[in-house]
Amino acid sequence: MAFEITVNGEKRTVDADADTPLLWALRDELGLKGTKFGCGIAACGACTVYIDGYPSRSCVTPIDSLGEAEVTTIDALSGKAADAVRQAWVDLQVPQCGYCQSGQIMAAAALLSETPKPSDADIDAAMSGNVCRCATYHRIRQAIHHAAETMEG
């Protein structure tokens, strides 16, 4: 059946079963490929999107649960925190394979929007749901601090 969902500020129609995870609706139905598939059980964060501004796991969010909620994906992520995070990721050369980084950046930008000067403990708490098998964690931590500094400046 058809569902109307709001993605990146636009109303979009998705013709799929009610239990279809938002992840697959975004990727397969709407052609938004930035959000990646890692586990399907909300255990790795590769599929992180914002639902009404909050980082959420799109792989376990059925499309019929969205209602009027606003979905934001990496494909349209913007703003001060997002720009600072992306630049810090380039400055510190964070990604290796890069596959998890859509989710990492969504999570990091959300953290900095809420907590402009996070401690290492804040970073670990906010980012521990996002797995990186290349273990770029060391640089993620440094890059979040770096982004916090540039946002301040």
Sign of the dihedral through C-alpha 84, 82, 132, 121: positive
Residues 6 or more apart in contact with residue 96 via CB below 8 angstroms: 134, 136
Report the nearest approach of another protein to the CB of residue 128 (Å).
Answer: 5
Report the nearest approach of another protein to the CB of residue 148 (Å).
Answer: 16
Report the nearest approach of another protein to the CB of residue 52 (Å).
Answer: 20
Residue 22 and residue 73 in contact, taking contact as beta carbons nearer than 8 Å: no
Residues that bind another protein (CB under 8 A): 16-17, 19-21, 24, 27-29, 33-41, 43-44, 46, 73-75, 85-86, 89-90, 93-102, 105, 123-125, 127-141
If the CB atoms of residues 141 and 146 are measured against another protein, the closer one turns out to be: 141
If the CB atoms of residues 15 and 52 are measured against another protein, the closer one turns out to be: 15
If the CB atoms of residues 55 and 95 are measured against another protein, the closer one turns out to be: 95
Residues 6 or more apart in contact with residue 61 via CB below 8 angstroms: 21, 22, 23, 51
Residue 30 and residue 17 in contact, taking contact as beta carbons nearer than 8 Å: no
Report the nearest approach of another protein to the CB of residue 17 (Å).
Answer: 5
